């Protein structure tokens, strides 16, 4: 038996820049039709020139004509409607980071007052530009996302025509928020469907599984699995694949991020198969994203997998992937498009 | 102003063996009058010969006649009363590890049935040998200690004459258990008075602050501070100083343990001073231990500290201490004895 996925999409991806971009971009463009590209470079992508230049560098690094990088800007409350109109055709979404909450987010939003955000968020609503949010407060690490739900709700209420994507959700509280507000959507990563804090810090400490938001409790993972595996229509796959060089992970002060891009489809296939929900995989890794991001054009590509052992490389250049050196149950057999 | 502590005691210490023992033993024997020595070597200390030989190696490594290593055995439910009688004069306590719960605990207890434990625990009660316990279940990492409280209570109820030391407690649930059962006592580490999970994994991941039990929530730290700073008579200082070579901490699969022995008295002085509870420091770092472990002989030693910057070494051989390279407010001025 083989499994074929049409137009797989990764709705939350970090490609970085320069040498790292050259390492990781081909790994995503190989097996995905497109990805939402996070703008947290140094400095963050916040002008039309930066966005277009970054897109060029990505396309050059990918070397594939069946992969579209969907570009995002780093949210600033100073973006005017005129500016957004001028960039709209090149822009798929805008990513909002609370200040200092994760890698390269220092210039993010430091307060969530409606009036400060109103001009930009109303312009985005009118122009139908989705707002992607890294939803964490600066509270205690296990509570940050649950505490942020009230901000999601405040934004959803005040900007009812704005599509708000709760990125890489990790808690049952975020899952519950999905059904309370029509304009809240979510991405879920591969690793948050698989691990809890036990996998990060329950045995030996595992820096390669350390990410933000940090993996939470078993009941949180259960809530995520429930909506992902059962094809909740407001939930889509976003890997949050976030490469760091090995030395930045295995050191005193380890950077946050799990690198999953090259193994995501294989492991998702196994997970959905194990839970007898394979029929929902296509929706999770593509169809829901196309419906939610209804303006995107998606290159034609099909990825066929089969049950055949795949040994995950120990490294991709100097980046250690999740399951490095381990054997996965499913392999990619063929990619067409 | 200077502060003088009489006969400081560290009631939970890992000295390891061989080269590591030679590195760390002098750092404890320098500033403490004695310490309870944990038996989790490979293989664990579980015979009279092993205990005496380890004690010899410790004394040799310490090179101090004003430091007593209080020796412990690794608990086994096969210890008979006759065996314990034969070793009683050399033994201060017995340490119980649930199987596989921390460094070198593979041979620990895998079930807590009263009848299995009865012979050994009744013998210990009669011979007045305290039982030190690493109290964690194999549950979710943030719940393990709270889940273990029912086992503490079961043991306290069934063996009312046994002194049970809840080692390195980290939760408000363990603090609450202290006052419910006359025969429950506790050690608290330096690091659990200072850090929460936020310090370990809230910013960058900090392998040198990763330990077992893992640091918990702010309200847990508050509960620990309350009993330590206010001189709860059943609470004593036990550093759980647990050295690992740098490569075992800064790697994929980091070992659990924080190395605090050489900075403990300086930082405790600062902490108690900050909280205007300096008058309770002597009780926490010595008097309570002498009252609880009422059979021990404590070498005479006084340690005098003053408010003067102390730059913590970046390393002690290949071991990174807590606060490596940082400047502490208090220094050791003089040690007599």
Contacts of B53-60 with C-beta under 8 Å, sequence gap 24+, read: B54/B17, B55/B90, B57/B17, B57/B21, B58/B15, B58/B21, B58/B25
Report the gap between the CA of B99 and the closest CA in chain A (Å): 13
Which of A171, A252, A259 best probes binding to B when mutated, by most B CB atoms within 10 angstroms?
A: A252
Question: How much of chain A exceeds pLDDT 70, in percent?
Answer: 100
* Residues of B assigned a catalytic role: 240
As a whole number, the mean pLDDT across chain A is 97
Q: What is the DSSP letter of A313?
A: P
Nearest-by-Cβ selection for A253 from B206, B217, B256: B206
Report the gap between the CA of B195 and the closest CA in chain A (Å): 12
pTM of the model: 0.95
Residues of B contacting chain A (CB within 8 angstroms): 140-142, 196-198, 200-202, 204-208, 210, 214, 217-218, 249-256, 320
- For A98, phi and psi rounded to 5 degrees? -60, 145
C-beta of residue A317 within 8 angstroms of C-beta of residue A21: no
- Residue in chain B lying closest to A101 (CA): B203
A158 sits in which H/E element: helix A144-158
Give the position of tokens 């007599």. Answer: B336
User: For position B101, what pLDDT does the model report?
Assistant: 84
User: For position B94, what pLDDT does the model report?
Assistant: 98
**pLDDT digit string (tens) for B252-262?**
888 999 999 99
- Residue in chain A lying closest to B254 (CA): A205
Query: Would you place residue B104 in the very low, low, confident or very high pLDDT band (cuts 50, 70, 90)?
Result: confident
Nearest-by-Cβ selection for B201 from A141, A250, A320: A141
Nearest-by-Cβ selection for B140 from A198, A206, A210: A198
Chain B residue numbers with beta carbons less than 8 Å from the beta carbon of A218 are 140
CB atoms A254 and B198 under 8 Å: no
CA distance B91 to B72: 6
CA distance A204 to A246: 18
**pLDDT digit string (tens) for B295-332?**
999 999 999 999 999 999 999 999 999 999 999 999 99
The interface pTM score, or ipTM, of the predicted complex is 0.94
Nearest-by-Cβ selection for A217 from B140, B207, B255: B140
A67 sits in which H/E element: none
Q: Read off the pLDDT of each residue in B100-106 and give the average, rounded to a whole number.
A: 85
CB atoms B214 and A200 under 8 Å: no
Chain B residue numbers with beta carbons less than 8 Å from the beta carbon of A200 are 201
| Residues in chain B, total | 337
Query: Would you place residue A250 in the very low, low, confident or very high pLDDT band (cuts 50, 70, 90)?
Result: confident
Q: What is the DSSP letter of B88?
A: G
**pLDDT digit string (tens) for B178-207?**
999 999 999 999 999 999 999 999 999 999
Tell me the domains of chain A and their CATH numbers. Answer: 11-262 (3.20.20.140)
């Amino acid at each position: 038996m083989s499994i074929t996925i049409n137009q797989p999409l990764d709705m939350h991806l970090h490609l970085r820049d320069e040498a790292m971009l050259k390492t990781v971009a081909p790994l995503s463009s190989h097996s995905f039709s497109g990805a939402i590209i996070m703008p947290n470079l140094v400095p963050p992508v916040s002008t039309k020139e930066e966005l277009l230049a970054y897109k060029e560098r990505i396309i050059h690094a990918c070397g594939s004509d069946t992969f579209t990088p969907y570009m995002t800007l780093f949210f600033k409350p100073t973006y005017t409607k005129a500016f957004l109109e001028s960039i709209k055709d090149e822009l798929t979404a805008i990513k909002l980071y609370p200040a200092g909450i994760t890698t390269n987010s220092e210039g993010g939003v430091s307060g969530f007052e409606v009036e400060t955000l109103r001009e930009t968020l109303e312009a985005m609503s009118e122009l139908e530009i989705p707002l992607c949010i890294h939803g964490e407060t600066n509270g205690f690490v296990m509570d940050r996302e649950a505490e942020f739900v009230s901000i999601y709700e405040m934004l959803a209420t005040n900007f009812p025509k704005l599509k708000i994507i709760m990125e890489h959700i990790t808690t049952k509280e975020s899952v519950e928020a999905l059904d309370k507000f029509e304009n809240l959507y979510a991405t879920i990563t591969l690793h948050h469907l698989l691990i809890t804090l036990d996998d990060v810090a329950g045995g030996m400490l595992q820096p390669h599984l350390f990410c933000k938001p940090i993996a939470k409790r078993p009941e949180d993972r259960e809530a995520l699995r429930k909506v992902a595996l059962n094809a909740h229509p407001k939930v889509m796959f976003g890997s949050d694949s976030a490469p760091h060089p090995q030395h930045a992970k295995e050191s005193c002060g380890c950077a946050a991020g799990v690198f999953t891009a090259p193994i995501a489809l294989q492991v998702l296939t196994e997970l959905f198969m194990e839970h007898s929900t394979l029929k929902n995989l296509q929706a999770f890794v593509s169809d829901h994203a196309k419906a939610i991001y209804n303006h995107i054009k998606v290159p034609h590509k099909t990825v066929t997998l089969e049950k055949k052992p795949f040994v995950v490389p120990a490294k991709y250049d100097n980046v250690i992937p999740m399951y490095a050196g381990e054997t996965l149950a499913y392999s990619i057999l063929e990619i067409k498009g």
